[in-house]
Each structure stands twice: as C-alpha cells, then as structure tokens.
Structure 1
Amino acid sequence: MKYQGVPPPLLDAVLVLLALVDTWGNVDLGQELAVACALLGAFALLLRRRLPLTTFVLTLPTTLVTDAVFATLAALYTLSSLSRHRGLLVGCALTYSIIDFLPWPWSTLRVGELAGPNLVHLIYTLGTAAAPVFLGQLVQAHRELSLRLAEITKAREHERLLTAQSVLAKERAQLAREMHDVVSHQVSLIAVQAGALQVAGGDAETKEAAATIRRLSVQTLDELRHMVSVLRASGSRPTELTPQPSLADLRTLVEGSGIDADLVTDLPDNVPATVQRAVYRTVQEALTNVRKHAPGARATIQVRRADGTIRTTVTNTAPVRPALPLPSAHHGLIGLRQRAELLGGTISSGPTPDGGYELLLELPATDAP
C-alpha cells in the first residue's frame, strides 16, 4: 500500500528492516539454513509490488523453518491488497497457516500432537493468516472507492461544463434571433427611410445627411450580419424572446413598417402563444424583405383561420424603383422555416405572375406535440 507522504522505496526499505529485526530476534544465527531462508524472505519484500505472488512464495521457507513470520505476513497483505482472486487468497492463507502450524522438520510430527493445546495454536494461526488478508482487501476496496469517487467528481465537473456551454449556446441563439428579428428590422427601416429622404430631399445638406444615415445604416446591417452568423455558430436551437410579440402587435408592426400595406385578419384571441409569435415573426420578416428587395411596392397581409389551419399570406406587388444594395445573412427564411417545422407547419415563398412576391405560412391552430 502506498501511504500518503511516504515514498514507496522508503516504505519497502522499512519493511525489509523490520523483517531483519524479526529474523535477529527469532532465528538462531548459528543455523545457516534458517538464516538463509530468513534473509531470502526479508529481501524478497523488495519485489512485493511488482511480483506479489512470487514474493509470498519466497517468504514461505522462513515461516517453515523459523519463527520469523513478519516477512510472510507482509507479503500476504500485499498480495491481498493487489489481487482480486478470492480463491487464491484463501489458498495462500491456508498454506501459511499449515506451514506455520506444522513443526520443522516434519519427521518429528506425531498425530496425537494435533489435538489438545495444539488446536488452539491452529486457530490462532488461522486468525493470524486471516488478518492480513482482510486488511489487504479493505485497503483494496478503499483504493477502488477513492478512484470511483475521483471519476464521479470528474464526470460531474464535465457535466457542469457541458451544462454551462449549453446555457451559453442558448443565450447566443436567443441573442442572434433578437438581433435579426428586432435590431436588423429597425436598422433596415432607417436605411430605407434615409434612402427615400435622399431622393426626395430638397437641398444638398438634407441629401448629404440622408446619404450619411443610409451609409451608416448599411454598415451597421453588415456588422450585424457577421455578428448573427457568429452567434448562430453555437448550433443551439433558436430560443424565444422575452417579452414576446403577439397578434395584437401586428397592426403596430404594419403601420410602422414604412410600407403601403393592408392588414386583414379574423383570428380569435385564443390562438396559442407560439402560433401568434410565429405569425408575427413571419410578417415582420416578409415586410423587411419587401423594404429591401421591392422598394415602393404595396403589400397585403392576410391572416385567416380555416379547417383547423391558420394561414398567413404576405403578398407584395412589383417594385417601382431599384432595390437598395443592403447586406443580407440569408437566415430570415431559414429561421422562419425552422420555426414552422417545430410547430408542425409549413412555409413557402415565390414570385407572383405580376412580378411581385408571395410568402405563405400554414400552421395548425393548436400547439404541435
């Protein structure tokens, strides 16, 4: 066993020294065989970590021919602390007990001597052999438990790290959606209004100020596009915003869009909140695209419910002037399609015969399972 703060080589040296002291106190130095066996057992302890079973076997002769048993018990303890083979440990313990119990040389053994007081000696020998085995198994269990606790602690740290990363990814996705749905919407409106002011301005100073506002708005949109792309790289599923818009905010959205648009809706108030948000974001994105790609066009927004399906249609006429070169991250329709799929609906878009454009969102009237 590796004790904390005690280097293994030093501990092995201490065990060898204790085995030599046991030899000096229990072995007649005049008996060469006994001394040789005791020295073999003592120095064999240096191999106990790498070859525990071999070390135990090498220490058995000292128990057989002498009363020095420290080396054998130390080797038995080491074997028990490192081995999982219970049968082997029982066999080694019984081997030690029998060798220690039987007298040496075995030729002096008499059957009658096995009864009486010697039975107590046998029980004592068995208990002596069992002690290092139990202690070694206890140390092994403690060591394995410590390793398991360390693994559990490491796993929990890893789990906490993954949880923190997941929360961060959701926050990034939420921020990306907010920047796209809210900030870019307002900035693009500023750019469109500035462009209109630049065209209709009566004096050079007004036109120059409008051009500056438009240029800065376009730069801001471009920077927002890069920021949204970075934030979306987290791979997290888009999250909703707080506070969330509803159908009651549609008219305010249309009136503030800067587009000549008509809103027709007949939806009741009991539409699920998730469906209301999806309809709002779809109309918002469609109006943003009209401002970007169809300047001067007229838009019609229809939100109706029929046969358990809520159908939102945003149609615009052909543009009356060239579109402004505003940057786009191309995430708008992708985000709308993902939102619709999560709610069990579909979204489609495409040009109309008169040169305009139409976007159609169909959602079930209830939350998707």
Structure 2
Amino acid sequence: MIRRRPPAPLQDAALVAVSLIDVSAHFDAGEPLRMACAVASAFSLLLRRRLPLLTFLLTLPTVLFSDAVIASLVALFTLASLSRHRTLLAVCAMAFTLSDMTSLPSPNLDLAQTATLITLGYTAATAAAPVFLGQLVQTRRDLSLRLAEISEVRDHEQLLTAQAVLAKERAQLAREMHDVVSHQVSLIAVRAGALQVGTADADAKEAAATIRRLSVQTLDELRHMVSVLRASGGRPTELTPQPSLADLQQLVSGSGIEAKLMTDLPHDLPPTLQRAVYRTVQEALTNVRKHAPGATASLHIRHEGDAVRVTVTNTAPTRPALPLPSAHHGLVGLRQRAALLGGTITSGPTPDGGYELCLELPAEGTA
C-alpha cells in the first residue's frame, strides 16, 4: 500500500509550529529582541522550498543570539536536499557550528579547554546530520526519477518490439494472401470468364458471369487488404508450412494454361530457395492467365554452376485479356524475396509478343 505524504503547506506549517515550540522552550522575557528574531526565524521556514539558501541565512542569527536551533537545522536540511554544491553545504554547516558555539553579545569560545572541543565536535555533528540526511533525500529522489525514466524507456521499447512483431506478421499475412488466396481467386475468375465466353447455355453463361463478377470483387477487396497490411509491414518472412520443389508439377498442372515444366534441380536445396522458386513460378503463371489468355508457357528451372536460374516464357495471347484488378505487388514482392536471398529478377516482353521472367539466385548450400 502506497503511503501518501502530507501536502507541502501542511508540512511547512508543522515545521513552523515545531520551531515556535523550540522558541517558547527557550523563551526569555528579558530578551525581547532575541525572541523576536527567533520567531521571525521560525516563520521564515515558509520560504524554504523556493529560497532555501536565503531561508538558512535568515535563521542563522537565531542560532547566534539564542539557543533555538530547530528552525536553522530544518533550513540546513532543506538546502542540502535541494543543492548540489558540496562546498556551499560545508560552509553552511561550519557557519551553523560556529554560530551555535558563539554566544553573542558576550562570546566565550576557548578552544584550549577540552570541554569546548567536545562541545565543538557535538555541534559539528549536529550540523552535519541534516546535511547528510538532505543529501540522502536528494539521492533517493534522483534514483526515483532515474527508475521512472528507465521504466518509461522499457515500456517504450516493449511497445516498439510489439509494433515490430505486428508489422512483421502483417507483412507475412500480406504475402500469403497475395501468393495463395489471390492466386486461387484469379484462377476462379479466369475459368469463369472462359466459361462465360465459351458456353451457349444461357443459365450457365449467367452463372459464370456471376462467379466472375464476385471473383473480381473479391480480388478488389483482397488487393485493398494487402495494401493496408503492406503499409505497416516490415521485411517479409515465411509462414509454415510452405511449398517446395516437389509441389511444382502440381502447380503447373492446375494452373489452367498449357505449360511445359523442365527442371533438373535437386530436392535438397535450402527451403528458402525452394520457396522462392515456387513463388516465382506461381506468380508468373498467374500473370500469364491474367494478361495473356490463350498463351502457352514454358518453364526452365536449372542449376548452373553456383546459381539457380528460373525462366518462365509465354507466347503472345490469342484473345483479349479480361479486366482483372491488380495492385502490381506481385513482381515487387518477387524482387524483394530475391533480394533477400542475394538474387535478381528481370522481366520484359519477347520479340514474338510474349513475355519472359527470369530469376537468378545463388545456390549456396546446395548438395
């Protein structure tokens, strides 16, 4: 349970009251000037937080002229808790000691006497006590501030870490949505469009048109979601399970286009490299379906020296392309993936009106 400290005005009023009690304990009706000075010294404690040095100087005459010392000790403690000047604190403690040892207007300070030296030591210890206590309070306050700063920095770092993890997860999700979900929906739209054009049955044509329209709307929504996710994503990493080279033939067979796969890659390539090859082929086939209807494709995947090369070439389209939505993230994502693996991707039209995409990756770690 946290204990609340009394309000500052209440603390000051309590210290003034204690000082006045000290003055009354040493009250001397025959010395009205000294008593007035002591009372003024007690009330000067109300200034101790704003003007600690001035407050101590105002209380020092009371020590010099009377035995009421509580106000001056409180002022010395406040000064020590707020000031970082050790020399000033030492001078103030010495001033208090000499003032307490001196009794004006008739000073009697004989250092040759043992009793005087003992009193001097006691008085010096009395002056040192509030100084050390004030410094201790100041150190404790500084430590509390440092701990609060460290806690704030730690919370900020945790927030940044959580945001980084979230951004990475969003990037992963965006990549998977584009590579898998968009791939399948694009295939549905292409097949529905082909059915709509190729069938003579009115009901089938209407159903195909509905399927194609819904597929296109779904692709639009997916593109928007991928854009939102990529806006706060970091460098993409892979999710498991992921496809491998063993899945290439199934991908080509289910692509919906006439394609020929030629590969001599071993199946013990690093998983990251296998996934990069698979995603490149998948994106290339998706682009052929979307932008080159009726075209055929050839896929050459080979291991040459210290590099793996993937070449996907398609012929010119035989019919107009269907207007499918695209955010153009496919090739960008492929280039990012290739760059992470130290590879490159080039793409462009061929002289016969087709298109060619080439991926080259370093085959480090291959057997």
**Superposition TM-score tier, normalisation by shorter sequence:** over 0.9
**Alignment-mate amino acid for residue 234 of structure 1:** S
Q: Which stretch of structure 1 is more off in the superposition, 45-54 or 196-205?
A: 196-205
- The equivalent residue for 1:30 is 30
Give the structure 2 partner of residue 323 of structure 1: 321
Give per-residue Cα distances to partners, 1:6-54, cap 9 Å, x unaligned: 1111111111111111111113132122112212211110110001011
Partner of 2:88: 88
What residue in structure 2 maps to residue 7 of structure 1? 7
TM-score normalized with structure 1 length = 0.96
Aligned-partner SS, 1:315: strand
Which SS does the other structure have where 1:359 is aligned? Answer: strand
CA RMSD of aligned residues (A): 1.5
Give how far 1:110 is off. 4.7
- 155, 158, 174: which one aligns with 2:156: 158
Query: Any gaps of 5 or more consecutive residues in structure 2?
Result: none
TM-score with structure 2 setting the length = 0.96
Partner residue, 2:78: 78
Superposed counterparts of 1:36-75, under 5 Å: 36-75=36-75
In the other structure, the counterpart of 1:297 is 295
What does residue 213 of structure 2 align with? 215
Unmatched 5+ residue regions in structure 1? Answer: none
Matching residue's letter, 1:5: R
Percent identity between matched residues is 70
Cα distance between partner residues in 2 of 1:248 and 1:88: 82
- Tell me how far apart the structure 1 counterparts of residues 312 and 108 of structure 2 sit (CA, whole Å): 111
- Post-superposition, which runs of at least 4 consecutive aligned residues in structure 1 deviate over 3 A? 106-112
Aligned positions of 1:112-127 closer than 5 A: 112=112, 115-127=113-125
Aligned partner letter, 2:226: V
Contact 2:110 2:116 in 1 (8 A): no
SS class of match (2:93)? helix
Q: Distance in 1 between matches of 2:340 and 2:142?
A: 47
CA distance in 1, matches of 2:127, 2:152: 38
Matches of 1:107 and 1:341, distance apart in 2: 89
For 2:47 and 2:29, how far apart are their aligned partners in 1?
Answer: 25
SS at match of 2:303: strand
Q: Is 1:257 the counterpart of 2:248 in the alignment?
A: no
Partner of 1:240: 238
3-state SS in 1 of match to 2:327: coil
Deviation per CA, 1:70-92, whole angstroms, max 9, x where unpaired? 00000000001111111111111
Question: When the two structures are aligned, how many residues end up with a matched partner?
Answer: 364
CA 1:179–1:107: 2 relative to 1, 3 Å: closer
Match of 1:335 in 2: 333
Structure 2 residue 24 is matched with structure 1 residue 21:
no
Moved more, 85-94 or 252-261: 85-94
Look up the match of 2:191: 193
Q: Using the alignment, how far apart are the partners of 1:122 and 1:313 within structure 2?
A: 97
Partner deviation per Cα, 1:250-280 (whole Å, 9 max, x = no partner): 1111111011000000011221111111111
CA contact (8 A) 1:27 1:34 kept: no
1:299–1:314 contact (8 Å) kept in structure 2: yes
Q: Secondary structure at the match of 1:312?
A: strand
